Homo-oligomer: A and B are copies of this chain.
Amino acid sequence: MPLLVVGSVALDSVETPQASRDDVLGGSAVYFSYAASYFTSVRLVGVVGEDWPNEHTQLLQSRSIDTQGLQIVHGKKTFRWRGKYMTNMNDRETLEVHLNVFGEFNPVVPEELRKCRYVFLANGLPTVQLQVLEQMHSPQLVMADTMDLWIVEHRDELMKVLGKIGGLVLNDSEAKLLTDEENLVKAGRLVQKMGPRFVVIKKGEHGAMFFSEHETYVLPAFPTERVVDPTGAGDSFAGGMMGYIAQQDRFDPKTLKEAMAYGVLVASFNVEDFSLDRMQQVERADLDRRMVEYKQMLSF
């Protein structure tokens, strides 16, 4: 089944202790789309400025990502983010944010995409997420991401989002902030009670936790020596997970766990280079080979 994603499309500048890159392809909807494209066809809704290199659009299209929903605003610039990773490659500092066109992002889902049954609302203003939802014709599964800023400053609107979605993905510090609870198991269960059918807490290098009414589990990250740039790990996790769900066209407990595992593996490749560089070298068969290793690692 096709999968619709609405979110940021960006030009990122990233500094790590080892190397740095300027103005590379990024944004939550981009990482998500590429990751999901291993499994299903993707419809991307986003906005860029006139400085957007057309080759980026071509790259996405080469992966069967439909970009008719990618609006180009002339006379304006693309969203830019500059960040710096600390030596642990986990903590990062945002050095610059220029929202540019993304600051006035008012997503209009093209009519023929409104019937998509699988929808991902990447991290964005909760009011914008709600606005997208209103345009959709009864989707089967909606998943969303969020961040600390919305938890603190737009809590009421975020709670409305939580009441309307099937799955929420957020990271560990966000789950603690949202629930004021330090124990992640308690935090995940509390978030799940706020509305979503299931909640995924992303723990970066430590993997991800899943919570539904009847299930709680953890899957570890795939251990890799090669962590070059963690940018987009969470979005490629979500893309791998939801791409698999949309491909399978079901989200029973068994499928959700397999989907989580694919999310973990796509993210494990994504961090191996800057931007989408590593993912561009990876095919579905590479994911399936790593899946064999991953399952073996968890069997005893």
Tell me which residues across on chain B come within 8 A of A94, comparing CB atoms.
none
| Interface band, chain A | 20 to 34
CA distance A298 to B185 in the complex (A): 17
Q: Which residues of B contact A185 (CB under 8 A)?
A: 223-225
Whether A218 and B223, one on each chain, are in contact in the complex, defined by CB atoms closer than 8 angstroms, is yes
CA distance A184 to B227 in the complex (A): 11
Does A20 sit within 8 A of B, measured CB to CB? no
Q: Does A216 contact B (CB under 8 A)?
A: yes
Given contacts A189-B225, A224-B185, A300-B261, contact A206 B203 (CB under 8 A): yes
**Can you add 5 more A-B contacts, CB < 8 Å, to A217-B297, A298-B299?**
A87-B182, A89-B182, A89-B183, A184-B223, A207-B218
- Give the B-binding residues of A (Cβ under 8 A): 87-89, 182-186, 189, 203, 205-207, 209, 216-221, 223-225, 227, 254, 257-258, 260-261, 295, 297-300
A–B Cβ pairs within 8 angstroms, 13 of them: A183-B227, A185-B223, A185-B225, A186-B225, A203-B206, A206-B220, A216-B223, A217-B223, A218-B220, A219-B220, A220-B220, A260-B300, A295-B300
